[in-house]
Amino acid sequence: MNTSPEDYLKNIYIVKETVGKVTTSGLAEKMGITAPAVSDMISKLAKSGHIKNIPYKGFELTKKGEETAINLIRKHRLWEVFLVQELGYEWNKVHDEAEKLEHSSSDELITKLEEYLSFPEYDPHGHPIPDKQGKIIKQKVIPCTELEVGDIAEIREVSDASQEVLGYLTKVGLRLNVKFSVVEKINFDNSVQIEFENQKIFLSEKLAKNIYVRKSS
């Protein structure tokens, strides 16, 4: 399954956002390809002015590269909204579908789709949708793992990459905007126990890392 140059830019942007640092091997793992493939594409994208690259030292998106990345993210998220809101998809099934559609839709189509959907601000996983000019309003959120016992928090965002995580959240009743309190925290394995709607739930580290919240008190 061949990836497009655009896809690299998008993933660089996202890894930078979520992990903080982008490396050749990190990107390779995220994209399910090998490091040399990444290295190769990085230098191509450097030539075309989308990336600033210093071999062996690191790379980052240029303004141009970031614009392309954000435009693709915009397409992805708007399609996700359409799939969930209009076609009735479950939130854990839309990622892959949107991944394909984003590459097959013109800017004009997306403009029309955005209007059709009444200019949604967030995608089904709580991620903000960049506007036509590439402006994106980032929420201030922290992963569940950073909460302390007694904290009360509200779910604002969930990572959309893993179907299993999303499926599990749905199963136990966790959705966006759910408010919960931290009952227990086990530093040993970084898991947390939370309470919401009169039930207690264990979140493993893997799960907790994918849930982003805003403390509400």
Residues of the shown chain interacting with a copy of itself in the complex, contacts defined by CB under 8 A: 83, 86-89, 97, 100-101, 103-106, 109, 112-113, 116
Pick the closer one to a copy of itself by CB: 26 or 120.
120
Contact, 50 vs 61, CB < 8 A? yes
Number of Cβ atoms within 10 Å of the Cβ of 147: 22
Burial of 137 per CB tally in 10 Å (0-12, 13-18, 19+): exposed
Three-state SS at 208: helix
From candidates 16, 18, 30, 33, binder to DNA by CB under 7 A: 33
Q: Min. distance of Cβ 64 from DNA in angstroms? A: 17
- Considering only the stretches 9-17, 38-46, 61-69, 165-173, report the one whose residues sit in contact with DNA under the rule CB under 7 A: 38-46
Pick the closer one to a copy of itself by CB: 116 or 119.
116
Q: Which does 139 bind (CB under 5 to 8 A by kind): DNA, a copy of itself, none?
A: none
Pick the closer one to a copy of itself by CB: 109 or 137.
109
Q: Min. distance of Cβ 113 from a copy of itself in angstroms? A: 7
CA separation (Å) from 23 to 35, 125, 177, 210?
Answer: 9, 26, 33, 21
Pick the closer one to a copy of itself by CB: 85 or 204.
85
Contact, 153 vs 168, CB < 8 A? no
